Amino acid sequence: MPRPRSPGTTASALISVIAKGLAAAGIEQARAEAELIVRAACGLTAEDLILRPEAELTCAERERATTLASRRARREPVPYLLGRVEFYSLPFLVSSASIVPRPETEILAEAALGRAPRTRCRLAADVGTGSGVLACVLARHLDGLRVAATDISAHALILARQNARLHRAADRVLNVRCDLLSAVAGPLDFLVANLPYVRTGDFEGLQPEIRDFEPRRALDGGADGLDVIRRLSVQLSGHLAKGGFAALEVGAGQATEVANLLERGGLGSIEVVADYAGIDRVVIGWRRG
């Protein structure tokens, strides 16, 4: 006579148990995230869950899934649990050394890639590179381009270097530990920057996944959110080649002031690009040439 199954001994049963716990913790997409967690912990594909939902799991698999679920219930971001995320249709490694790459930043990548051919497209910079996703995307899509990827965090640069190797771009992405452009010699054909832009007063109101787990110095931009962007703006004209551009990601309601900062920094032909929600997300300025 077969032994009765205990709760969570099969993939489908464990998903149900984990989903219930995540829902109780306030996770909106509890079922979908439970499936991701079980798949990651047990080495299953989406097809496995469809074809073999009643497959028995080992004790080790159940323990791994339960541990990940407990971390998620404390609101740790899913990409940190899985150690990876998709950005611009490419896989990237992620960790708490940097913020989780967001869909909004794909707007920045797209804007830079669309305008880069107007320049010599030889040397660019990704300022505040974090996990290095922008630098890798630029290097993969623009033949012959070299990218200086700067960050003040040594741990973030280790992660960025791993991603450059993952995408076979390590020979064209140079990781530089410095503040903004302080150790980068120009002239740059263009640069991208996703710098801290959250207002300090808004920080405590962020989702716990962001507020409690992502590095604050990569998010908090000071009283008006523009402290770091303001410091970069005065460096742009001296680092960009004539005819080069700077593309900066900004927060909601900040585009006008950032455009003014770029103009005061010597750039012109200002462009503003909205994201898919209609929020002005990227500000671009060109050095006259």
pLDDT tens per residue, the chain (289 residues)? 344 445 558 999 999 999 999 999 999 999 999 999 999 999 999 998 888 888 899 999 999 999 999 999 999 999 999 999 999 999 999 999 999 999 999 999 999 999 999 999 999 999 999 999 999 999 999 999 999 999 999 999 999 999 999 999 999 999 999 999 999 987 999 999 999 999 999 999 999 999 999 999 999 999 999 999 999 999 999 999 999 999 999 999 999 999 999 999 999 999 999 999 999 999 999 998 7
The structure's pTM equals: 0.93
Q: Does one domain contain both 56 and 105?
A: no
Six-digit token pair at 215?
């590095």
CATH label of the domain that carries residue 249: 3.40.50.150
Domain ends where: 37, 59, 74? 74
Q: Is residue 83 part of a domain?
A: no
Q: Which residue range is the domain that position 129 belongs to?
A: 99-287
Can you read off the two tokens belonging to residue 241? 């080649």
φ, ψ of residue 226 to 5 degrees: the values are -115, 10
For residue 7, the model assigns a pLDDT of: 52
Q: Are 130 and 176 in contact (CB under 8 A)?
A: no
Shared domain check, 105 and 26: no
In the block, tokens 């922008």 appear at: 134
Residues 20, 116 within the same domain: no
- Enter the tokens of residue 284: 């671009």
Q: Quickly list H helices, 78-131.
A: 78-82, 103-115
- 266: which 2 tokens? 């010597």
When divided into structural domains, the chain yields a total of 2
**Domain identity same for 140 and 252:** yes
Quick one: which of 145, 146, 190 has its CA closest to 286?
A: 190
Residue 211 shares a structural domain with residue 249: yes
- 196 occurs within a structural domain: yes
d(CA 259, CA 64): 48
d(CA 17, CA 36): 14
Comparing CA positions, the residue from 72, 96, 76, 93 lying closest to residue 84 is 93
Model pLDDT, residue 273: 98
Tokens of 132: 């290095």
Check residue 1 and give its pLDDT: 35
Helix (H, G, I), strand (E, B) or coil at 177: strand
Claim to verify: residue 169 and residue 255 sit in the same structural domain: yes
The rounded distance, in Å, linking the Cα atoms of 149 and 146 is: 10
- Collapsing DSSP states into helix, strand and coil, what is residue 15? helix
The answer to whether residue 55 is domain-embedded is: yes
> Same domain, yes or no, for 267 and 153?
yes
Same domain, 203 and 66: no
What is the DSSP-derived secondary structure letter of residue 248?
E
CA distance 230 to 222: 11
Residue 148 falls inside a structural domain = yes
d(C-alpha 15, C-alpha 21), whole Å: 10
Q: What is the DSSP string of 65-98?
A: HHHHHHHHHTT--HHHHHTEEEETTEEEE--TTS
Same domain, 212 and 174: yes
Same domain, 192 and 251: yes
pLDDT at residue number 4: 44
Q: And the tokens for 66?
A: 């339960």
